Structure 1
Amino acid sequence: MTQHSGSTSDELPTGGERSGVRIRRGSERDAEAVLALIDSAIAWFVSIGNVRQWGTEPWSAHPERRARITAMCAEPGSWVAEDEDGQVLGSLVVGDAHDYVPPMDDELYVRLLVADRSPRARGVGRRLLAFADEQARGLGRARLRVDCYGGGSGKLVKFYESCGYRRTETFSVGEWPGQLLVRELTEGPASSA
């Protein structure tokens, strides 16, 4: 069972720069909101010329991607950040490594991280990563790992590095360039600022 600071609550307040944001356990009911976050990110990527990260078409338009996100939202390690009105601002799924990445011993893997790009959601991605850190520590894991798009400007890799992750190896899924990163939990708590 995934826990937060010894609590088994499914609704957990978060600290940080924005009050009124809480992290709660995700479910299949959140799939449409998570798909909307992904679709919004894709539209933004296209607007800045980054068409290789997640493609150019909304994931919600593809049945296999809809099914994949719905299944991920139902996983035990699925969490969402929402505002006081229940609007989903971000999604985090932690668990085992994806099939295309060799697993490591004693790890918790960030399987999905997506956040709204609007000003009202500023810092939500970092806060979800700090929450993943707490989850891993609560489970007695030694490390967190994540993979991300390794192409383009490199800003996504730098974001993870700014959250305490370090690059380990690159990989490819077809023509998609990926970067693996690790955060050893002996390095202290993740920054949520």
Structure 2
Amino acid sequence: MPEASRRYALPPMQIEQARPEEADTVAAVLNEAAQWIAGEGRPLWSAADIAPERIRRDTDAGGYFIARSNGETAGVVRLDLDDPGFWPEMETGTSLYVHKLAVSRAWAGRGVSIRLLEFARERTAGLGRPFLRLDCVADRAPLRSLYERFGFSLHSVIHKGERAFARYELRVPCA
């Protein structure tokens, strides 16, 4: 069992693919997280990254998943089958990629991120892909620590413009 799963009292949670009509729910969680991060002086996503039309497009395509507990939205995550922007060298079909993982502030510190990562790992295995991969801004030490405690290994650090991004991977036993 990964260390992270032993450290948190993880709440019971249902994680399901967001339906097209739930794009506003996804957008609300992402915008709340973006505002909180920006308020901490650490802006992360651009307005284009979380624009309603982009979220709607990704939700319509089946990319977003919503975590709920007792009907309350706790968090969201987007899972992609490829990521040529951050992982162009990876062979198609070898990985699932985590993007836009966000937790509702009401659920902060309650293990929702761990639940979403567990879900992503299970989905990766179910798809028969050997790796779960993600990237984050390299100077986000608490976020990087979360990923490392979960079991991700640092693959590399890449630069895009003036920002450095840490790329992480987790080997997943295929089902």
TM-score, normalised by the number of residues in structure 2: 0.80
Which residue does the alignment assign to 1:178?
Answer: 165
Q: How does 1:116-131 map to 2 (within 5 A)?
A: 116-119=104-107, 122-131=110-119
> For this pair of structures, how many residues does the alignment match?
163
When residues 180 and 28 of structure 1 are mapped into structure 2, their CA distance, relative to the original with a 3 A threshold, is same
User: Residues 26 and 64 of structure 2 are in contact (CA less than 8 Å); yes or no, is this contact kept in structure 1?
Assistant: no
Q: For residues 76 and 54 of structure 1, what CA distance do their matches in structure 2 show? A: 21
User: Aligned equivalents of 1:30 and 1:148: distance in 2?
Assistant: 26
- Contact 1:107–1:141 at 8 Å: present in 2 too? yes
Give the structure 2 partner of residue 45 of structure 1. Answer: 37
Amino acid at match of 2:149: S
Q: Distance in 1 between matches of 2:120 and 2:50?
A: 27
Contact 1:95–1:108 (8 Å) recurs in 2: yes
Tell me what 1:89 maps to: 74
For 1:101-180, list aligned pairs within 5 A: 101=86, 102-105=88-91, 106-119=94-107, 122-152=110-140, 154-180=141-167
Contiguous gaps of at least 5 residues in structure 1: 1-15, 189-193
Residue 99 of structure 1 deviates from its aligned partner by 3.3
- Which whole-Å deviations, capped at 9, do the CAs of 1:95-131 have from their partners, x for residues lacking one? 2233312152311111331111324772111101101
**Whole-angstrom distance in 1 between the partners of 2:99 and 2:77:** 8
Go from structure 1 to structure 2 and tell me whether the alpha carbon gap of 1:28 and 1:174 turns closer, same or farther (over 3 Å shift): farther
Alpha-carbon distance in 1 for matches of 2:145, 2:124: 22
SS in 1 for 2:41: coil
After alignment, is 25-34 or 95-104 more displaced? 95-104
Aligned partners of 2:108, 2:51: CA distance in 1, in Å? 27
- Distance, in Å, in 2 between the alignment partners of 1:143 and 1:117 is 29
Partner Cα distance (1:103, 1:80) in 2: 29
| Alignment partners' CA distance in 1, 2:68 and 2:89 | 30
Q: What is aligned with 1:10?
A: none
CA contact (8 A) 1:26 1:78 kept: yes
Distance 1:183-1:31 versus aligned 2 partners, 3 A rule = same
Contact 2:15 2:66 in 1 (8 A): yes
SS of the residue corresponding to residue 118 of structure 1 reads: helix
Compute the displacement of 1:42 (Å): 2.1
* Change in 2 beyond 3 A, CA 1:40/1:151: same
Preserved CA contact (<8 Å) 1:24 1:79: yes
Where relative contact order (Cα < 8 A, 6+ residues apart) is larger, the structure is: 2
Contact 1:98 1:111 in 2 (8 A): no
